[in-house]
Amino acid sequence: MHETCHGERPGFCRCAEGELRTTSGVCWRAEQGRSGGVESEHMPEEVAPHIYRLAIPLPDSRLSTVNAYAVLNGDAVRLVDCGWNTPEAYEALKAELSALGPGIAGIREIVVTHIHPDHFGLAGRVAEESGARVLMHRLDGQLVGARYADTRALIDEMEVWLRLNGVPADELAAMTEGSLGMLRWVDTRRPDVLLEDGERLAWEPYRFEVIFTPGHSAGLICLFDRESGVLLSSDHVLQRISPHVGLHVQSSADPLGAYLDSLRAMHDLPVTTVLPGHGKPFSDLAGRVDQLLEHHAERLDTIRATLAGGPATAHDLAARLTWRGAEDGWATLEPFQRRMALTETIAHLEHLLAEGRVKREELDGRVLYTA
């Protein structure tokens, strides 16, 4: 079976040691070849010295994969993010770490860059199996219980808040519960260590600094090694898509303001290699930061202009804006996508409010915004 296995990158295809086998005993690379020609996406790729990108498959997502990064030092692995808690993601992570040598048992620490299921979902299972410590920023670490374990209060709060922001009664239940399906993809684990901005992680040969970059989530962190210029940017800066920044019941008052500030703060870092949470590595951080800042400036102007017709709820406004995937109208979006669009619209409105460019008032149990 293994004779079909021939690695393109020197050092990875170690068939003689059997390190590329999946649990079913099949050559990992050959199996990937049979399963639709996506093998290069499922092989560890050395993206900086001692740092390997592990592309973990996502269920039903247009992003298709999330990146976990393994920092390898002998038999010890430090993992940054893990993927959803699905059998496919687990098998991919296991096979890729086995291909590198240490396997899951070699993981000593797992840094979860933020609380979203695609980055956090497998942390519990992997930590349990390896004995690794889980590290997260304090702010996301504190949200784990309410979001994934005792969710009732959060769901009730979300319903009240969606109604306040103009969601009609017939859409309320579906939009409130739109994210519940994701709970099955998270093996809830409270972090062992809560990180703060500026802390150092001495992961030989790197010395990563924790950079607190809130916005996409309340406690998102990037890791930066000044000497090599390697930045693990998580979902804060992605090359092809603009990360979702939404305001909801677990976020700060102005998450878009926080996001734009943390983008600007990152602009001049001496970065040579950006290792993002999704997609391929890239190098032009400053250029990408400029594009993202410009995108949000345009979006803020568009949203303010859309308010020219008179006071509106965030929901009415969101339904009038253009959204990717909603070319046939707002109603064609799935309830969860509508909620994402709504929370993103509110984030922009509240940032306009903070800048003094719109007004907000509450009338008959609805929040109305005015230009």
Binding site for Zn ion (CB under 5 A): 116, 118, 235, 277
Q: Cβ neighbours of residue 329 under 8 Å, at least 6 residues apart?
A: none
Nearer to Zn ion among residue 103 and residue 121 (C-beta): 121
State the nearest-atom distance from the C-beta of 365 to Zn ion, in Å.
32
Which is closer to Zn ion, CB of 219 or CB of 277?
277
> What DSSP state is assigned to residue 16?
G
What letters, b where the CB count within 10 A reaches 16 and e where it falls short, cover 115-151? bbbbbbbbbbbbbeebebebbbbbbbbbbbeebbeee
Closest distance of CB 278 from Zn ion, Å:
6
Q: Which of 32, 39, 137 is nearest to 80 (CA)?
A: 137
Q: Is the peptide bond before 255 cis (omega within 30 degrees of 0)?
A: no
Q: Considering the complex, state which of residue 96 and residue 235 has its C-beta at the smaller distance from Zn ion.
A: 235
Distance CA 90, CA 144 (A): 21
Burial of 196 (0-12, 13-18, 19+ CB in 10 A): exposed
Compare residues 209 and 235 and give the one whose CB is closer to Zn ion.
Answer: 235
| Distance separating the N- and C-terminal Cα atoms of the chain | 67
Q: How far is the CB of 309 from Zn ion (least distance, A)?
A: 33
For residues 363 and 165, what is the distance between their CA atoms, to the nearest angstrom? Answer: 11
Least distance in angstroms from the C-beta of 116 to Zn ion: 4
Q: Which is nearer to Zn ion, 207 or 280 (CB)?
A: 280
Answer for the pair 92, 54: CB distance below 8 angstroms, yes or no: yes
Nearer to Zn ion, 214 or 277 (CB): 277
CB of 70 to Zn ion, least distance (A): 17
Q: Looking at beta carbons only, is 130 or 234 nearer to Zn ion?
A: 234
What's the rounded Cα separation, in Å, for the pair 193 and 286? 31
3-class secondary structure, 11: coil
C-beta closer to Zn ion: residue 249 or 371: 249
Report the amino acid identity of residue 93. Answer: L
Shortest spacing between CB 100 and Zn ion, in angstroms: 22
Cα 267–Cα 195–Cα 151 angle in degrees, nearest 5: 105
Q: How far is the CB of 179 from Zn ion (least distance, A)?
A: 13
Q: Which residue has the CB atom at the shortest distance from Zn ion?
A: 116
| Distance of closest approach, residue 102 Cβ to Zn ion, in angstroms | 25
Q: If DSSP codes are grouped into helix, strand and coil, which group holds residue 310?
A: coil
285, 236 in Cβ contact below 8 A?
Answer: no
